[in-house]
């Protein structure tokens, strides 16, 4: 997350570039700063994907006041990424699904695991 450093020797060798703009309260600008830096500073011309934006309902990490990302926050991050050069699209995560199979925290007390095979 938040790093746009792509070693020069890889710029012309990779098929696509994936990055995570992430969940940090202070790092949301990386949704657009990473693709801008790759396009403008490193002249990368391949496809770029923001593989993991903030999720609706997820706690904003390192936020001075506890709050969660809203649908508006997610849309803002998505539009910033795509309009700034993440032209191959976006990954998607959802806070309501990934804890379903969380055996490390039994206090969640889910009745069943979501186990796709």
Does a structural domain hold residue 1? no
Beta bridge partners of 50: 19, 90
Whether residue 54 is contained in a domain is answered as yes
* 25 vs 35: which has the higher pLDDT: 35
What's the predicted TM-score (pTM) here? Answer: 0.74
- The backbone torsions φ and ψ at residue 46, rounded to the nearest 5 degrees and listed phi first, read -80, 180
Considering all CA atoms of the chain, what is the largest pairwise distance in Å, rounded to the nearest integer? 50
**3 state DSSP class of 25:** helix
Percentage of the chain beyond pLDDT 90 is: 34
Strand residues in 1-117 grouped as ranges (E): 17-19, 48-50, 89-90
Most confident of 81-85, 94-98, 102-106: 81-85
Model confidence at 15: pLDDT above 60: yes
Determine the pLDDT at residue 80.
Answer: 94
Specify if 2 maps to a domain.
no
pLDDT of residue 23: 84
Q: Which pLDDT value is given to residue 116?
A: 47
The residue range of the domain holding 82 is: 8-108
Q: How confident is the model at residue 101 (pLDDT cuts 50, 70, 90)?
A: low
Number of domains in the chain: 1
Top-confidence residue, 58 or 38: 38
Average pLDDT, the chain: 82
Q: How far apart are CA 72 and CA 74, in angstroms?
A: 5
């Amino acid at each position: 997350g938040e790093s746009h450093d792509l070693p020069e020797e890889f710029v012309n060798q990779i098929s696509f570039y994936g990055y995570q703009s992430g969940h940090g309260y202070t790092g949301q600008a990386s949704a657009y700063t990473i693709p801008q830096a790759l396009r403008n500073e490193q002249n990368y011309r391949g496809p770029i994907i923001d593989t993991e934006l903030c999720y609706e309902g997820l706690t904003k990490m390192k936020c001075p006041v506890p709050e969660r990302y809203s649908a508006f926050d997610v849309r803002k991050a998505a539009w910033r990424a795509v309009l700034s050069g993440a032209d191959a699209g976006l990954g998607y995560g959802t806070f309501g699904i990934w804890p379903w199979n969380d055996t490390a925290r039994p206090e969640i007390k889910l009745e069943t695991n979501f186990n796709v095979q």
